Structure 1
Amino acid sequence: MSYAALVRPALDRVYIGMRAASRDRLRELTEQTGLRQGLNSSFYFGLLARPMPAAAFAAVTTYGGGDMSDELAQAIMAVDDDGDWSLTDSGHTYTLALQQTIADAAQELWAQTYRGALPGEAVLPRLAELLAVLLKAGRATGGPAFLAATPVYEPPGASYALQVSTRMGALRHHRGDAHRAAWAAAGLTLEQLRALTDGDPLRLAIEQDTNRRDEPVYTALSEAERWELLGLLATLPN
């Protein structure tokens, strides 16, 4: 098994669990601001730093569709004549609050030690460091979504929980780009991809190709650091 295949479920478990833990806080933020989250919620790490090019927008909306009518109606985001998307001034302020809200939820979740059974937030500084290495390395191998996501935006004095939550979100786009490239190289449309069953040999081949395309980013870490990354992820609750 490739390392990319091994680490993917570990990253997904921690990230998805962290985002699930933030739902109530994000709901409160919506009630306080009157604004609803959209693309800014899943791509804040990039949008807070720079506009999203049209190619990146097409990539990140491949699976969920690209209807941005709600973001436009709320004046959270704007699009220019080239199809590039950016946060408005009010959208930027709201998205900064959204990033901090997610980080606060992550801090509360990851600080749990379960009566000393887990190290809690003590692992976050090292995890943030390893993720920073991966994000830098991925600039050479990432596709349009990853390149729009990085370098990530982190406010001055960002907590380690904010750094880790933001960097994990951006890193997952490296694999997302790899997956889109893999099924496109197989000559499939999205509809054809979705029609494949779990055991279909072509689906398995696409997954293997995805791992192959995602693998290079992890070569920036030594073998010991790759195992360390897995160990650190394993200590965080979901």
Structure 2
Amino acid sequence: MPTEPLRCPGALTVDDGVELAPHRFAGMVAPAVERAFVAGMLAGHDGGGAELSQRYGGPAATAFLVEFRTRLAAPGGTVGRVGFAAVNRYRDPATCQRALDKQVAHGMIARRPDGGFTATERGADFLAELYQVHAEVTEELWAGHDDRVRRLVEAYGRVLAYALLLAGEPAAEPVPAFDVLAPPHEPDGTPPGVLLLNRIGALRYHRADAHAAAWTAAGHTASSVGKLPDGPERRAIELETDRRAAGPYATLTADERLGVLADLAALPG
């Protein structure tokens, strides 16, 4: 753990009179994380992932392997029924089960007696190749930003570790989507770009769980919250999401939070 806060040239710091509390940071960093994550995943799709998927049967055979890659790539990694439902909370459950059945039929996923599933040997081979594709495309996408990527990997490693610690406390609110995708599988030698992609990917689901808790507390369902127009009620749910998602970011200093925002904003993609 560094003894000095991460800083970026020209970035605002707390000394400049800016106080970036964790709940404010949670709201500000979410779109920056989304942009970087989507850029990495799209690069993976266009840079070999689509061709790789076709070799194994196409999206009908591989879609959930890609979505749950950070758990299923680990030896013995299992996705349980609760986690699967949480990740797919905005999708039709019957449609998801039919899609899962197809991937079982393709021999990529194996169901467990308890309702969960794991990757088959063929599925694990696909995921090993997918990790390699992501290594190549993130290295290209973020070329010339090695120090920035390294800082973000370190920062998000700490945030992820603290999020897991908080989730394990007896009084913690459930985070079922995050629980099934974190910690991400990080075999020895995993390149920094893949570490960053998968760490921020896991933290996206921590916020997704916070958002679901916020709209549930406001009396909404997955269907009704999507139809909620802009206005005070939606804004209140977003602020409550920020509050619930803020906990893990307390492990960073205010200066480090500003540094993370600056580094994410500067990444290409």
Same fold (TM over 0.5): yes
The answer to whether the aligner puts 1:60 opposite 2:92 as a matched pair is no
Which stretch of the first structure deviates more once superposed, 206-215 or 82-91? 82-91
Kept in 1, the 8 Å contact 2:57–2:106? The answer is: no
Q: Which residue is equivalent to 2:268?
A: 237
User: Which residues of structure 1 form unaligned runs of 5+?
Assistant: 114-119
The answer to whether the aligner puts 1:131 opposite 2:156 as a matched pair is yes
Superposed counterparts of 1:1-238, under 5 Å: 2-24=24-46, 25-36=48-59, 37-49=62-74, 50-65=77-92, 66-67=96-97, 68-111=100-143, 113=144, 120-139=145-164, 140-141=166-167, 143-197=175-229, 199-238=230-269
* TM-score, structure 2 normalization: 0.80
The CA distance in 2 between the partners of 1:177 and 1:201, in whole Å, is 21
- Determine which structure has more spread, i.e. the larger CA radius of gyration: 2
The CA distance in 2 between the partners of 1:71 and 1:33, in whole Å, is 10
The CA distance in 2 between the partners of 1:22 and 1:10, in whole Å, is 19
Fraction of identical pairs, as percent: 33
The CA distance in 1 between the partners of 2:237 and 2:135, in whole Å, is 34
Three-state SS of the structure 1 residue aligned to 2:187 is: coil
Kept in 2, the 8 Å contact 1:4–1:214? The answer is: yes
Structure 1 residue 35: Cα displacement: 4.6
Structure 1 residue 62: Cα displacement: 0.9
Q: Which has the higher contact order (CA 8 A, sep 6+)?
A: 2
Cα RMSD (Å) of the superposition? 1.7
Q: Which residue is equivalent to 1:117?
A: none
The CA distance in 1 between the partners of 2:104 and 2:224, in whole Å, is 31
The CA distance in 1 between the partners of 2:58 and 2:131, in whole Å, is 14
